[in-house]
Amino acid sequence: MALLQKLIDINRGPSNYNMNPDYKNAEYLLKIITAIYNIKDLDTLLERILLEARGFVNADAGTIYLSARNHLYFNYVQNDTLFHSKREKDKYIYSQSRLQIDKNSLAGYVALTGQPLLIDDVYDIKSDVSYNFDPTFDKKTSYRTQSILVVPLVTRSGEGLGVLQLINAKDATGKVVPFSMIDNMYISQFAFYAANAIETAKLSRQMALRMIEIVELRDPGETSVHAKRVGAYAIELFEQYAKTHGIGSHEARTFKEQLRFAAILHDMGKVAISDIILKKKGALTPKETQHVHYHTIYGARLFKSHHSPWDKMATEVALNHHEKWDGTGYPGKIPDIYAKQLQFGPGKKGKEIPLSARIVTLSDVYDSLSSKRVYKEKWEERRVLQFIQEQSGKHFDPELVKIFFSIHDTITAIKQRYVDVEEFIIKSA
Is 207 a member of any domain?
no
- 133 membership: H or E segment, kind and range: none
Q: How many contiguous H segments (helices) and E segments (strands) does the chain have?
A: 18, 7
269 and 225, same structural domain? yes
Q: Is it the case that residue 95 has pLDDT exceeding 80?
A: no
What CATH number should be reported for the domain holding residue 365? 1.10.3210.10
Do residues 328 and 398 share a domain? yes
Contact 132, 89 (CB under 8 A): no
* 206 located within any domain: no
Question: Percent of the chain having pLDDT more than 70?
Answer: 88
Mapping DSSP to helix (H, G, I), strand (E, B) and coil, where does residue 392 land? strand
Give the per-residue pLDDT at 89: 64
**In-domain check, residue 295:** yes
Residues forming a β-bridge with 63? 77, 165
Residues 259 and 377 placed together within one structural domain of the fold: yes
Q: Let me know whether 46 and 143 are in one domain.
A: yes
Q: List pLDDT tens digits, range 339-387.
A: 988 889 999 999 999 999 999 999 999 999 998 876 678 899 999 999 9
Domain count, the chain: 2
Q: Among the three residues 148, 174, 201, which one is the final residue of a domain in this structure?
A: 201
Per-residue confidence (pLDDT) for residue 4, from 0 to 100: 52
Contacts of 115 (CB under 8 A, 6+ apart): 109, 152
| 182 and 286 fall within a common domain | no
Distance CA 228, CA 341 (A): 34
Which residues, including other chains, have CB under 8 Å from residue 54's CB and lie 6 or more apart? 60, 61, 62, 78, 166
Query: Same structural domain for residues 169 and 254?
Result: no
Domain check: are 193 and 223 in the same one?
no
Calculated CA dihedral for residues 346, 349, 354, 360, nearest 10 degrees: 100
Indicate whether 287 and 402 sit together in one domain. yes
Q: Is residue 328 part of a domain?
A: yes
Q: How many residues does the chain have?
A: 429
Are 196 and 223 in the same domain? no
pLDDT at residue 423 greater than cutoff 50: no
CA gap 310, 225 in Å, rounded: 21
Give the H or E element holding residue 165.
Answer: strand 160-170
Residue, of 18 and 261, whose pLDDT is higher: 261
Domain check: are 192 and 225 in the same one? no
In this structure, are 245 and 293 located in the same domain? yes
Q: How far apart are CA 246 and CA 267, in angstroms?
A: 30
Q: Give a yes or no: residue 211 inside a domain.
A: no
Q: What is the distance between the alpha carbons of residues 257 and 241, in angstroms, rounded to a whole number?
A: 15
Other beta carbons within 10 Å of 335:
8
pLDDT, tens only, 159-209: 999 999 999 999 999 999 999 999 999 999 999 999 999 999 999 888 888
63: CB partners within 8 A, 6+ apart = 50, 74, 76, 77, 78, 107, 163, 164, 165, 167
CB 358 within 8 A of CB 396: yes
Q: What is the mean pLDDT of residues 392-400?
A: 98
**Residue 214 placed within a domain:** no
* Structure confidence at residue 166 (pLDDT): 98
Give the end of a domain, one of 201, 236, 269.
Answer: 201
Q: What is the pTM of this model?
A: 0.81
Instruction: Tell me, yes or no, whether 385 and 248 share the same domain.
Output: yes
**pLDDT exceeds 50 at position 252:** yes
Label residue 13 by pLDDT band (50, 70, 90).
very low
SS3 98: strand
| Residues with Cβ within 8 Å of residue 49, at least 6 apart in sequence | 36, 64, 164, 194, 197, 198
Q: What's the confidence (pLDDT) of residue 87? A: 58
Q: Among 13-17, 115-119, 282-286, 362-366, which is the least confidently predicted range?
A: 13-17
Q: What is the dihedral angle through the alpha carbons of 17, 22, 23, 26, rounded to the nearest 10 degrees? A: 120
**126 lies in some domain:** yes
- 208 occurs within a structural domain: no
The CATH number of whichever domain residue 95 belongs to comes to 3.30.450.40
Among 54, 46, 106, smallest CA distance to 80 is for 54
282 is in which domain, residue-wise? 219-428
Averaged pLDDT score across all residues of the chain:
87
Helix runs in 95-180, H state only: 106-113, 136-141
Of the residues 166, 201, 236, which one is the last residue of a structural domain? 201
How far apart, in whole angstroms, are the C-alpha atoms of residue 51 and residue 53? 6
| pLDDT score at 94 | 60
Question: Which of these, 157, 121, 331, 362, lies nearest to 240 by C-alpha position?
Answer: 362
